[in-house]
Amino acid sequence: MPALWTIGYERLLPDALVAELQAAGVERVIDVRYRPQSRRPGMSKTKLGERLAAVGISYEHRRALGTPPEIRPLYRTGAVARAAEQFRAHVEATAAGDLDALAAELAGPSPATALLCLEAEPSGCHRRVVAEQLQQRLPSLRVVDL
């Protein structure tokens, strides 16, 4: 059964993030932030990719699966259901091919993969929508939130 992990680094320092990923056996991180920048040291694209590579975890940024600026305020203000609905429509309209490709990767032999974003709680993050859209394409996909 194919599996996908999700993780948010909001409450984690870089070393703790790496430890969580290693404990779960993750081999590849797909960063689904629209802009992979962070005020937290070590969590921006380049530094994070280097830190993960140092422990044998590959890093990929997939901007197309990120929340565009016009939807982000809905998540921030707690309008999660509306945000998720708008993001679902957005990602299907603009990145259906990316979702199809990722589902195909996960269905075949692929490294243990985690989606990464900022928010600690997956229920309040767009990565939940990404995971759900992948499950629609790959019903046997097991999603594990770290």
**What does 102-116 look like in DSSP terms, one character per residue?**
HHHHHHSS---EEEE
What percent of the chain stands above pLDDT 90?
Answer: 95
5-46 pLDDT, tens digit per residue, is 999 999 999 999 999 999 999 999 999 999 999 988 899 999
Q: How confident is the model at residue 59 (pLDDT cuts 50, 70, 90)?
A: very high
What mean pLDDT do residues 113-125 have?
95
Model's pTM, two decimal places? 0.94
Residue 5 tokens, joined: 């992990």
Residue 37 tokens, joined: 């920048």
67-82 pLDDT, tens digit per residue, is 999 999 999 999 999 9
Tally of domains within the chain? 1
How much is the pLDDT for 40?
87
How far apart are the C-alpha atoms of 13 and 67, rounded to whole Å?
A: 23
**Cα–Cα distances in angstroms (integers) from residue 67 to residues 26, 35, 98, in the given order:** 23, 9, 14
Mean pLDDT estimate for the chain:
96
CATH number (domain holding residue 121): 3.90.190
How much is the pLDDT for 1?
85
How much is the pLDDT for 119?
94
How much is the pLDDT for 47?
96
Q: Which domain holds residue 93?
A: 3-145
- Cβ-based neighbour number of residue 124 at 10 Å: 16
